[in-house]
Amino acid sequence: MNAFPVTEDPRAITPGLPAPLSRHLEVATLFTQEYPLVLESGRSLSHVQVAYEQYGTPSPHHDNTVFVCHALTGDSHPARHDPDDIPGWWDVMVGPGRPVDTDVFHVVCANVLGGCAGTTGPLSPGETGRPLGPDFPEITVGDMVTVHRALLAHLGIGRLHSVVGGSLGGMQALEWLLRHPGDAGRFFLIGTAPRLTTDGLAAHAVGRAAIRSDPQFDQGRYADGLFGAGPRQGLGIARMVAHLTYMSPESLETKFGRAVQIGREPTGPAHGRYAVERYLEHQAGKFVARFDANSYLHLTTAMDRFSAFERPHLLTPGNGPAVHVFSFASDRLFGSDITGELLAQLTATGLTKVTHYRDTDSPAGHDAFLLNVPGYLREMRAVLAPSVV
């Protein structure tokens, strides 16, 4: 993999980064005009910026590195580096004494290609200096993995101990397994699927329609590289729709039921008084403060078009990497049928080391993979142990 080995100050060179940032964020510039990143669409990108963070210490033989792939709206900061650091999105999983134990493992996590937290994406400037916006090329989950692998080459890391990811991160881990099975000894596919169901496609379609119909969308040419511009209402609605797929009906009922938000009277028939509505509006408000609408369009489209077993894979029957699948009974986005399909297709490749842990305790739904679910975390800790293959 050809990479241009430059690491720079992300605050100085990267427009549109959300605040606050961990002081541990690094940015590498990969690929060159001579050796660009050739995307699966046939288009190419040169000088791709990749925002990433590292935890722990590499072993002398560089065989203790775990690569963490983030989900749709995640970034390169899964966990605190120290008590004074900002919270991470996976603090229950990554850190000292956690299943991905940073006292044992060297951990790398990168913002995906097409994201909006430091890696090249629609907010990146084009030739005119304005954000690429809708001119940013179509990307795939495979393109994301290509950039991850280029980052590892830049860091001088060869074979990984593990690749770990949940949801879209799990799709990246699955793609990595199928195309480059020799890159790691273990692959962890958590709360994920080989493809989106029609229900998942529909939820994304509604969200993208909400963004496109916002008067501030302006065909995607709304931003000058700053967060807060553009289709805030549409992006917020997209988040509300998606959030419903991340929670289970039971968790919604338990948390809210038909409770009325105290002190918040409706202003008319279009505005309800129910606590669940206020909760979704709160989630929308938090989201639009940290995410870019064009990135959301590109990343959800990449998820939609992902079909892991549609192309030939490089797995061969017999011994291969260990594959650990984790699912959640309350997950309405990736239910038991799609998990069964994933397991059947993995088995059909001839892999001999495939395990499946299904949590039946957490009512949290799809988001359970991010939460403190004791049985799931115990199993993750057990199978991640360095002596376990």
Other C-beta atoms within 10 Å of 335: how many? Answer: 17
Pairing of strands 48-55, 26-30: antiparallel
Residue type, 304: D
CB 140 within 8 A of CB 306: yes
Among candidates 253, 217, 256, 223, which has minimal Cα distance to 238? 217
Q: Would you state the structure tokens that stand for residue 289, as one six-digit string?
A: 């403060």
Alpha carbon distance 230, 206 (integer Å)? 18
What whole-number distance in Å separates Cα of residue 88 and Cα of residue 80? Answer: 6
Known catalytic residues? Answer: 167, 331, 366
Q: For tokens 């060159």, what's the residue?
A: 32
Which residues touch 87 (CB under 8 Å, ≥6 apart)? 80
Q: Which of 208, 210, 262 is nearest to 233 (CA)?
A: 210
